[in-house]
Amino acid sequence: MSVVASSRAITVTVNGVEYEREVEARKLLVHFLRDDLDLTGTHIGCDTGNCGACSTIVDGQLLKSCMLLAVQTDGSTIETVEGLSEDGQLTPLQQAFTDHHALQCGYCTPGMLMSATALLRANPSPSEAEIKKALQGNICRCTGYWNIFDAVKAVAR
């Protein structure tokens, strides 16, 4: 019989590091990442599931971390924007965002990077239409999107 409880101990692996924490059932994954683990790269934009700034990859699936409870990720492997680069080196996608001026204020960028990363893993050679469809859940109010598409295209094979 599972326990009905208002909090529980969870174990998650975030960017390769294992964490064990007691979390309230009402805590959203995005708050857990930011407040409990101090991983503030995952942004809260709209907090209504529309903007995609909080996008993270959970067990290989791109999800919005504002529409998931932290307790639901017990046992999961989570990737956030902090985990993309290795040894301080930008990934080719991150470098392409810089080269193509794919960000201005940068608020949406962590979510854009996670969505584009998920796309390129599943489909290394996306068409422009596929790039647009893959980034549909991410809103940017600065760039008008074209530079973001260009950055993704630059690293597509």
Partner 1 sequence: MLLREVEYAKPASVAEALSILAGNDGARALAGGQTLINVMKARAASPDLLVDLNGLDDLKGIELGGDGTLTIGAMATYTELGAAAEARARPIVGEVCMQIADVQVRNRGTIGGNLCSNDPTNHLPPLMCAVGAQMTIVSQAGERTIPASEFFLGVYLTAVGPGELLTRISIPAGKQDGFAAVTLGADGTCIANAAASINGSLRVALGCVDAVPIVVQPASADEDAVREAVRAAAIDPPADVHASSEYRRHLAEVLAVRAARQAAERS
Are 81 and 115 in contact by the 8 Å Cβ rule? The answer is no
Q: Phi-psi region for residue 23, left (φ > 0), alpha (ψ -120 to 50) or beta? A: beta
In Å, how far from its chain's centre is CA 55? 3
Positions touching partner 1 (CB under 8 A) are 1-6, 8, 24-28, 31, 47-49, 52, 55, 61-64, 66-69, 71-72, 115, 118-119, 133-134, 136-138
Q: How far is the CB of 138 from partner 1 (least distance, A)?
A: 8
Distance, in Å, from the CA atom of 132 to the CA atom of 135, rounded to the nearest integer, reads 5
Nearer to partner 1, 63 or 102 (CB): 63
Q: How far is the CB of 94 from partner 1 (least distance, A)?
A: 20
Q: How far is the CB of 142 from partner 1 (least distance, A)?
A: 18
Nearer to partner 1, 94 or 138 (CB): 138
Are 103 and 142 in contact by the 8 Å Cβ rule? The answer is yes
What stretch of H or E contains 11? strand 7-14
Nearer to partner 1, 4 or 20 (CB): 4
Does residue 42 sit in helix, strand or coil? coil
Q: How far is the CB of 45 from partner 1 (least distance, A)?
A: 12
Nearer to partner 1, 24 or 99 (CB): 24
